[in-house]
Amino acid sequence: MLILLAKQRLIFLTKNLSIVTLLFAASFNTYSQTIPLSVKNLYISSYKQAIEEVTNKKTEVDFPFVIGKLHYPVVSDFDHPYYKENKWSKGSLLYNGILYDVDVLKYDIESDKIIYLKYTPDNKVYHVALDENFIHQFSLSNITFRYFKELKNRRGGSLKNGYYEVTYDGIVKFLVQWKKAMVLDLGSRTMNYKTTTTMFLLKNGQATRVKSMAKLIHLLKDKKTEVKKFVRSNYLKLNGTDYSSAFNVLKFYESL
């Protein structure tokens, strides 16, 4: 319903812009031979203002998710705070229950912000760190990240609020928290970004840290025998740099 309303608004604004243009052209051509220069300038100013208003309203319909603050980019291709490569990627954003396809996104892991490249009508470009209170989920290269608040561990302790990669999204969930921070490289005595990942199994409202496949099997102890046999027969392993096997294990677990 929301998408339909947005499309209807966009069609209405586009028609308005066409009408404004036609009226201006007709009026200007009719009176251009008789009206003084000052009045002509007034016509042109009014026309520009009308176009600007319609353009701004169209932008609000097409890109309502652009809410945030300016982001100062890091230009290095090798040492940067972004997810994977320092390149703009295609992806999607979930805003107010509507999924928007976007061509220019980056994920700044250090600040835990999704960055959007915004172009303005006057050909200016801004890097905008989108507000996580409005962007509840985004994807980059088919990898989904979701914002979680007030996650608790088994002891009742709180996990950090932020975006987590959702590797498996079922009744149970397998989450990966990415972190990047500047650390001192003792070899070269320079500051460089270091990347770390922490894996969690979210089950029964509790997020438990997972460091190995043995730990994951233990947390699935209600079906431990079947899961253990499945892991062994498929030679599945799990670590901080390769956690794709968690998807297969949990898919099998929930199929039992």
* Mean pLDDT of the chain, nearest integer: 81
Higher pLDDT, 60 or 67: 67
* Structure-token match 């039992």, residue found: 256
pLDDT for 254: 95
21-49 per-position pLDDT tens digit: 444 444 445 444 566 666 556 555 554 55
Q: What percent of the chain has pLDDT over 90?
A: 57
For the stretch 128-162, what's the b/e string if a residue is b when 16 or more beta carbons lie within 10 angstroms of its beta carbon?
Answer: bbbebebbbbbbbeebbbbbbeebeeeeeeebeeb
**What's the pLDDT score for residue 63?**
62
Is pLDDT above 70 for 97? yes
User: Which H/E stretch holds residue 136?
Assistant: strand 135-140
pLDDT of residue 45: 58
Question: What confidence tens digit (pLDDT) does each residue in 181-235 have?
Answer: 999 877 777 889 999 999 999 999 999 999 999 999 999 999 999 999 999 999 9
DSSP string, 106-118: EEETTTTEEEEEE
pLDDT higher for 1 or 67?
67
Q: Rounded distance, CA 123 to CA 38, Å?
A: 29
